[in-house]
Amino acid sequence: MKRGWRLILGVLVLSSSALAQQPMAALKVAYVYNFTKFIDWPAADSGSVLTLCLIEPDPELEVQFRALDGRSVGEARMRLLRLSPADDISACHVLYSEEPLPVAGDSGVLVVTDQSRPGSVINFSVTGQKLRFDIDRGEARRRGLKISSRLLRLAREVR
């Protein structure tokens, strides 16, 4: 197990606040990675790179997301981008934001948020001790995203 050094490293190099979030952050990253396997992006957008954007991520969350940088999903390789809320998101395939700000309606962007809010396609929720997610099919359709029925079945709520 790598717990020890990771924790202490966080203390030294990052900061502690994020540490307690670590398991949550790690789980979210793994969920997001899994989501990408069940989504079809608009044909025009499918290329060899799958861009994953984070809006002003918490440092620990960003460290966890870096595990995805360069990893392949199907034929594409994932690339991580760090953005500020005012940035253009049209180049993103997946956008994850903890901040409950609404997200621009660009098509082809899978918007994943912590809470349900305008523009989000998938939002996380914690039920008991488990991490769950809701899917907004209407929003997915508006953004031209196709979500596999297997993912829909796993969702807590499909709107």
Partner 1 sequence: MPDWKSSCLCLPGFYLGLALFTFTGDAVAQNPPAAADLLELPLEELMAMDVAVTTAAKRPQAFFDTPAAISVLTAGDLRRSGVTHIADALRLLPGVQVARISASEWAVSVRGLNGRFARYLQVLLDGRSLYTPMFSGVNWDELDLAIEDVERIEVVRGPGGTLWGANAVNGVINIVTKPAHADGARIVAGAGDRGRHVLSGQWGGQHGTVKYRLSASDKREPGLQGEDSGLREDDWRSQRLAGRLDWSGEGHRFSLSLAALHSQDSPYFADLRPASVQASNATALLPINQEKQGYSFQGTWLSELTDVDSLALRLSYDWTERESDAVDWETSNADLDIEWRRQQGAHDLTLGLNSRSSRSRAEGVGGYPIVIVPEQGELNTMSFFGQDQWRLHPDWDLVFGLRYDNQSEAQDHWQYHWRGLWRASERQRWWLATSRARGTPSRIATDPSEIGFAQTQAEPFPGVMVPARILSVNQENVLSSADLRAYELGYRFGGDRLTADLTVFHHRYDNLLAAEFIGLRMQPGHVDILTRFDTLDDVRAEGAEWAFSWRFAERWLLQYNGSVINYRNDSVDSGLGALRASAAASAEVPSNQHALRLLGQVGGVQATLTVRRIAALDSVDIDAYTALDATLEWQPVPGWRVALIGRNLIESDHVEAEREAFFADRFEVEPSVLLRLEWRQ
The residues of the shown chain that bind partner 1, judged by CB under 8 A, are: 1-27, 29-31, 33-34, 56, 58-59, 62-68, 71, 82, 84-88, 90-91, 98, 100-102, 114-115, 117-118, 125-126, 129-132, 151, 154
Q: Which is nearer to partner 1, 2 or 48 (CB)?
A: 2
- The least distance separating partner 1 from the CB of residue 12, rounded to whole angstroms, comes to 5
Using CA atoms, how far apart are residues 115 and 136, in angstroms rounded to an integer?
12
- Residue 44: DSSP 8-state: G
- The answer for residues whose C-beta is within 8 angstroms of residue 22's C-beta and 6 or more apart is 6, 7, 10, 60, 64
- The least distance separating partner 1 from the CB of residue 159, rounded to whole angstroms, comes to 18
- The least distance separating partner 1 from the CB of residue 43, rounded to whole angstroms, comes to 22
Q: Which is nearer to partner 1, 8 or 138 (CB)?
A: 8
> Is the separation of the CB atoms in 86 and 43 below 8 Å?
no
- The least distance separating partner 1 from the CB of residue 15, rounded to whole angstroms, comes to 5
- The answer for residues whose C-beta is within 8 angstroms of residue 81's C-beta and 6 or more apart is 51, 52, 53, 54, 91, 92
Q: Which is nearer to partner 1, 73 or 145 (CB)?
A: 73
Q: Which is nearer to partner 1, 4 or 75 (CB)?
A: 4
Token pair of 65 as six digits = 């997301």
Region of 108 (left: φ > 0; alpha: ψ -120 to 50; beta: rest) is left
